[in-house]
Amino acid sequence: MLSLDRFAQGLPDPQEHQPGPIDECENLECSKPIYAGQRIWKHGADQYCSLRCLAESIGASDVTAL
Ligand SMILES: [Zn+2]
């Protein structure tokens, strides 16, 4: 478990003491909040909450081969 203690000190905004989302899923259909420590998928600088969100965002989909 990553220690976040050094981030919990000296922040000007008291709201920052609440563990909140650090980003949100880049898939606009999803936009779920992403929290520190969460396992995510990265594509370049974009962050996705799941592989499905990443795949949909880049136009990929899983289908049954015919
Ligand atoms: Zn997502």
pLDDT digits (tens, 9 = 90+) for 6-65: 666 666 665 556 679 999 999 999 999 999 999 999 999 999 999 999 999 999 988 999
Radius of gyration of the chain (CA): 16
Between residues 5 and 24, which one has the greater pLDDT? Answer: 24
For the chain, which residues make up each domain, given as ranges?
Answer: 20-59
Question: What predicted TM-score, i.e. pTM, was given to this entire model?
Answer: 0.65
The alpha carbon of 61 and the centre of ligand 1 are apart by a number of angstroms equal to: 14
The alpha carbon of 19 and the centre of ligand 1 are apart by a number of angstroms equal to: 19
Q: What is the pLDDT of residue 8?
A: 63
Q: How far are the Cα atoms of 11, 27, 29, 35 from residue 47, in angstroms, in the given order?
A: 25, 9, 14, 11
The alpha carbon of 12 and the centre of ligand 1 are apart by a number of angstroms equal to: 30
Q: What is the pLDDT of residue 45?
A: 95
The alpha carbon of 27 and the centre of ligand 1 are apart by a number of angstroms equal to: 6
